[in-house]
Structure 1
Amino acid sequence: MDEDFAPRESDLSQTYREGDVTVQIDIYEDGEGGWLLEIVDENNNSTVWEDSFDTEQEALDEALDALREEGIAAFVGPVQEADEHW
């Protein structure tokens, strides 16, 4: 990968809502001809797919399928408590 590579976010990245819960579907170029997929919840917890996708549409389709099949709760992590000792 080129040291100067700056990943480009796909135009297919989007917000997904189910009930009162929202996640962000982020799709980025991987610098090697593929696309990376990440789902980020409202508390910045993220789920990242290990394998890249050939197209950004394949990445989006995978995200939407996973959200529908597993439910949005599977992609929402715990709320991070602030450390009051700092």
Structure 2
Amino acid sequence: MPESEQQYEFSEFSGEFVDDGVMVIIGIYRPANTNGEWTLEVIDQEGYSTVWEDSFATDREAFEEFLATIKRDGIHSFLAPPMHTAH
């Protein structure tokens, strides 16, 4: 199936997140109608996307990884154009 036709289920943890005056969009999703693992993606205000290489068994684990990254590296770590995928 072409990627453009793929449907996704988004976690309730997805949405806007604001810290230190910076807003990012958190996307935690998996292919619809599956029990597949969750993908974590963060999109900054300029539209740059950071996608974790590893997937997560639960959407809560993905969200907790996002929060741990904010605590460790700060929200500003998502603002530069990524040169590679995270983690």
Query: Structure 1: where are the runs of 5+ without partners?
Result: 79-86
Matched positions, count = 76
| Corresponding residue of 2:69 | 66
One-letter identity of the residue aligned with 1:13: S
Match of 2:79 among 71, 76, 81: 76
Alignment of 1:10-21 (within 5 A): 10-21=11-22
TM-score by length of 2: 0.77
Please, which moves more after superposition, 26-35 or 65-74? 26-35
User: Shift of the alpha carbon at 1:16?
Assistant: 1.5
Letter in 1 for 2:68: D
RMSD across aligned positions (CA): 1.7
Superposed displacement of residue 11, structure 1: 1.2
Q: How does 1:1-86 map to 2 (within 5 A)?
A: 3=1, 5-30=6-31, 33-77=36-80
In structure 1, the partner of 2:84 is none
Rg bigger for which structure? 1
* Displaced runs of 4 or more, over 6 A: none
Equivalent residues of 1:43, 1:77 under 8 A apart = no
In structure 2, stretches of 5+ residues that fail to align are: 82-87
TM-score, scaled to structure 1? 0.78
The 3-state SS of whatever aligns with 2:10 is coil
